[in-house]
Amino acid sequence: MRVRKGDLVVVVAGDDASHVARKVLRVLDGGERLLIEGVNRVYKHVKRGHPSSPQGGRLSRELPISASNAMFFCSQCNKGVRVGTRVSETTRERYCKKCKASLGVIGRQKAGA
């Protein structure tokens, strides 16, 4: 999946499925898993004296979900869309496959290609 840290995605499957766009906090396992803000929250029970919580208790945190359960959010279409890549003479960019709008430059085209 062509998602990067900081992108907005829509969760389309699982317990946290909704039409609300959420921010990607981290991309794990080469893009196979995503850590998304406010999605897949669990409680971690912590003993007293732990450095992150000296008094102990329950810490709420996010766990990663599969990238197949999320779709990139296009602000022009205002919904989850598929993402493709376009190659021009000098740059590579991501684009929305529905409205063909540019979603940002990925990098420069290689000199030998």
Q: What is the pLDDT of residue 26?
A: 95
Q: What is the pLDDT of residue 66?
A: 94
| 1 band by pLDDT with thresholds 50, 70 and 90 | low
Q: What is the pLDDT of residue 19?
A: 87
As a whole number of angstroms, the distance between CA 98 and CA 82 comes to 7
Q: Is 35 exposed, middle or buried (0-12, 13-18, 19+ CB in 10 A)?
A: middle
- What amino acid occupies position 60? S
Q: What is the pLDDT of residue 47?
A: 87
Q: pTM above the 0.85 mark?
A: no
